[in-house]
Structure 1
Amino acid sequence: MSADNTPGNFSTDSEAVDSELIRFENVSKRFGSNTVLDSLNFSVEPGKHVTLIGPSGSGKTTILRLLMTLLKPDEGTITVAGQYLTHEEKNGKITPASDRHVREVRKNIGMVFQQFNLFPNMKVLRNITEAPIHVLGLSKDEAEERARELLDMVGLGDRCNAYPTHLSGGQQQRVAIARALAMRPKVLLLDEVTSALDPELVAGVLDVLRDIAHSTDITMLCVTHEMNFARDISDDVLMFDAGKVIESGPPERIFSEPQQERTREFLSAVL
């Protein structure tokens, strides 16, 4: 993982680029006069677990929404698995990407949102199989086999035929995690996945995510205020403030010996 907010100071070494699964290069995003991301440069290597921390409004969730193409950058480029996300190269020029190109690149990305966003009219099993069948082209049998394996992994193997409304919030979020993994993404985005849960349900969801982090090679990019969870699962932690990475490093250093005063202030408020 690397992070650098100095425009033009991003490594272009071909070997380094090949080792990156996600790459933001000079990405800016504004909402009116508010600059949410300011010439952001950072990259994530395959298999790494990277957590974004910082105060509300610092740009963390905007990064995930850009990766899901729910937003588009105002400047800069994003690449995923070596391909531009919202741009594509034609005749040696970088141009806005076609919808088809965006859909193809986005198949590499799965996201679990704050809200569960399950289809209430579909049983749990179909919630998980719908996209693999219609987007990835899996057979119903193959999709259902994969879904049952994932439900077992998140501890809900016996709830295949339940409707989401018959599940607790924590169970619904675990179904949402299984649904994201069913698409076999190269990277899993986690956006404050416990913020909508009752406190007693948080631990169960975090335990599932710890198991995934420790037992699979999936890349994870996580936004959370659960600092103990971040310390447990992260290879690297990025501290954001005002749309910039002001500090980054392994969790042991960020949480125990932060270098920046702003990081120390933030952690003293949340730990």
Structure 2
Amino acid sequence: MSHSEPMIRFTDVEKNYGKTVCLDHLDFSVAPGEFVTLIGPSGSGKTTILRMLMTLERVDSGTIEVGGEYLSHERRKDKLVPASEAHFRRMRSQIGMVFQQFNLFPNMSVLGNITMGPIRSLGTDQEKAKERGMELLELVGLTDKAKARPTELSGGQQQRVAIARALAMEPKVLLLDEVTSALDPELVTGVLKLLADIAASTDITFLCVTHEMRFARTVSDRVLMFDQGRVVESGPPEQLFTEPANQRTRQFIDAVLAAD
């Protein structure tokens, strides 16, 4: 992939659930290393986009590309056909995700949660995986919790472990799905600062769904406003939050900020 090509590209993507239109001929792209945040009301299609990138949902029509390769399809005898499970597995290895819920394995240590993926999926040597795991625990400020069980940690600490676990897989793309929604308010700032530091110090491409408007404004390179399965406005955060061009964007931002 050349640096000028998008890291993520949706082209004319449709997704319907029965008669409900979720994504409506969606077109958008994310450049390599860019931090893009998706905002918009519940049901506008934001989380479905992340689920499609994780191959948890399939497109009804259109195509998705990651790193210059088709995610939703593959080429066979010069024809574009729906992707096989083997193709999905290979493409999935480039993509990490941090969920609303931490999804840590309670019967494993913190370090074990971080090293299991690289050892099993990437074939990383056990000692190298542990060494990298400790480096990541240092990054997230939890070296003293390596032997602890997830149940012994606070919600903020568990989310930090989940972030370290995602980074251990060396993803090209990191998806963030409302990563602070399950946290107590006093823990939110620390987790968001950690993500901002990671975004600033790596070349990972981020795609983030959040209702934390201050975080979106501070960290994002670009913000996309979604409504009814389409992008209704896209722009740098300062422009979009201070002088939105679209009336729907203005209504949404005013409503969210008023609720804070």
| CA deviation map 1:113-132 (0-9, x unaligned) | 00000001100001000010
- Say which of 167, 178, 183 aligns to 1:181: 167
- Say which of 236, 250, 254 aligns to 1:268: 254
- Say which of 121, 126, 135 aligns to 1:140: 126
Deviation at 1:40, TM superposition (A): 0.3
Size of the aligned set, in residue pairs, is 257
Residues in 1 aligned to 2:83 and 2:46: alpha-carbon distance in whole angstroms:
24
| CA deviation map 1:98-139 (0-9, x unaligned) | 211111111110000000000011000010000100100100
Q: Indicate yes or no: 2:115 matched with 1:129.
A: yes
Q: Counterpart in 1 of 2:212?
A: 226
- Kindly report which structure 2 residues correspond to 1:198-213, keeping only aligned pairs within 5 A, or say none: 198-213=184-199
What is the SS of the residue equivalent to 2:143? coil
Residues in 2 aligned to 1:227 and 1:25: alpha-carbon distance in whole angstroms:
27
Q: Counterpart in 1 of 2:20?
A: 34
- Kindly report which structure 2 residues correspond to 1:16-27, keeping only aligned pairs within 5 A, or say none: 19-27=5-13
Give, as a single letter, the amino acid of the residue that structure 2 aligns with 1:65: R
Q: Counterpart in 2 of 1:7?
A: none
- Give 5+ residue unaligned stretches, structure 2: none
| CA deviation map 1:12-43 (0-9, x unaligned) | xx979x52111101111111111110010111
Residues in 1 aligned to 2:95 and 2:76: alpha-carbon distance in whole angstroms:
23
Q: Counterpart in 2 of 1:90?
A: 76
- Give 5+ residue unaligned stretches, structure 1: 1-13
- Say which of 152, 157, 168 aligns to 2:154: 168
| CA deviation map 1:228-263 (0-9, x unaligned) | 100111010000000000000000100010000000
Deviation at 1:86, TM superposition (A): 2.2
- Say which of 26, 44, 56 aligns to 2:30: 44
Q: Counterpart in 2 of 1:4?
A: none
- Identical columns (%): 66
Residues in 2 aligned to 1:235 and 1:206: alpha-carbon distance in whole angstroms:
15
Under a length normalisation based on structure 1, what TM-score does the superposition of the two structures give? 0.93
Q: Indicate yes or no: 2:139 matched with 1:153.
A: yes
Q: Indicate yes or no: 2:89 matched with 1:103.
A: yes
What is the SS of the residue equivalent to 2:123? coil
Q: Counterpart in 1 of 2:101?
A: 115
Residues in 1 aligned to 2:72 and 2:134: alpha-carbon distance in whole angstroms:
34
Q: Indicate yes or no: 2:243 matched with 1:243.
A: no
For structure 1, which segment, 252-261 or 77-86, has the greater mean C-alpha deviation from structure 2 after superposition? 77-86
Residues in 2 aligned to 1:94 and 1:203: alpha-carbon distance in whole angstroms:
45
User: After TM superposition, what 4+ stretches of structure 1 lie above 4 angstroms from structure 2?
Assistant: none
| CA deviation map 1:119-162 (0-9, x unaligned) | 01100001000010010010001111111111110111110000
Residues in 2 aligned to 1:210 and 1:79: alpha-carbon distance in whole angstroms:
25
What is the SS of the residue equivalent to 2:59? coil
| Aligned-pair Cα RMSD in Å | 1.2
